[in-house]
Amino acid sequence: MNMQLQVRKITLLLFVLCVSILPQVSWAQADDTTSLEELYWARQDSARAKFSQADVDFMSGMIGHHAQALVMSGFAPKNGASASVQILAARIINAQNDEINTMQRWLRDRGQTVTEVEIQGNTLIIHGGGHHAMHMPGMLTQDEMKELELARGVGFDRLFLMYMIKHHMGAVTMVRDLLAIDGAVTGDDTYKIATDIHVDQVTEIARMEQMLAQLPDAN
């Protein structure tokens, strides 16, 4: 086992002991790099201890929500999307994959069930938390996913943009709902994840609305 991990486990243990005894933790004098480093990792651990059930539900739900965006975006290269929609889809895949990793790490760090996603062809399977994924705001129904899968060319572009705008708006709603809950989003990590998703998707919605407006009329 590597040294760093060991140090972290010990400091976490110390931290838990301290917290259980004292209301405010006072840290031992860090007289060298090792103890300063221990303090660093202990702070990481104590920061992670600040979370609520609402935060956990948000993370596990959003992993499933993001996963559907991956499936939707995966259609773009095969379905004759325009170059600009392909760029957009590629960036959604890159961004939301990384965010899924971040949210999974967030859950793992806090000892929570980690939502795993599996994409088999065009089918999305969600394990662990987030069982009610289909009922989250902005999620596409099976029929809508099928419709998108079958669309081609400009028709695909239009449907993709419409559905992705709706999907993003759902994610924005999920963030806003989370932020309205007492006791939620008290940790810096949690705040960063939630607000990064918020601003990223608000920005992308504006871009997609512009792209949609520029598509030729349907006929």
- To other proteins, the closest distance from the beta carbon of 194 in angstroms equals 9
What are 125's strand-pairing partners? 118
Tell which positions 87-116 bind other proteins, by CB under 8 A.
87-88, 91, 94-95, 98-99, 101-102, 105
Tell whether residue 173 is a contact of other proteins (CB under 8 A).
no
User: Among residues 36, 49, 119, 125, which is the contact residue for other proteins, using CB under 8 A?
Assistant: 36
> What's the burial of 82, exposed, middle or buried (CB within 10 Å: 0-12/13-18/19+)?
middle
Angstrom distance (rounded) from CA 187 to CA 46: 10
Pick 19 or 206: Cβ nearer other proteins: 206
Task: Kindly state the smallest distance separating residue 32's Cβ from other proteins, in Å.
Answer: 10
User: Between residue 114 and residue 143, which ones bind other proteins under the rule CB under 8 A?
Assistant: none
Distance CA 170, CA 201 (A): 10
Say whether residue 160 binds other proteins (CB under 8 A): no
9 binds other proteins (CB under 8 A): no
- Output the CA torsion 184→164→149→132 (10° steps): 20
Residue 144 is a binding residue for other proteins (CB under 8 A): no
CA proximity to 135, closest of 74, 61, 67, 202: 61
Q: CA-to-CA distance for 27 and 35, rounded, in angstroms?
A: 10
Binding residue for other proteins (CB under 8 A) from 13, 125, 150, 206?
Answer: 206
What's the CA gap between 103 and 56, in Å, rounded?
9
Residue 142 Cβ vs other proteins, minimum distance, rounded to whole Å: 30
Q: Which of 4, 6, 53, 123 binds other proteins (CB under 8 A)?
A: 4
Residue whose structure tokens are 């709902």 = 177
Q: In angstroms, what is the C-alpha Rg of the chain?
A: 21
What are the CA-CA distances from residue 161 to residues 1, 63, 90, 140 (Å)? 48, 21, 14, 13
Q: Does 40 bind other proteins (CB under 8 A)?
A: yes
Expressed in angstroms, the distance from the first to the final Cα of the chain is 64
Q: Of the candidates 37, 116, 144, 147, which one interacts with other proteins according to CB under 8 A? A: 37
Site for other proteins, rule CB under 8 A: 2, 4-5, 27, 29-30, 33, 36-37, 39-44, 47, 50, 83-84, 87-88, 91, 94-95, 98-99, 101-102, 105, 175-176, 179-183, 185-186, 188, 191-193, 195-196, 198-200, 202-204, 206-207, 209-211, 213-214, 216-217
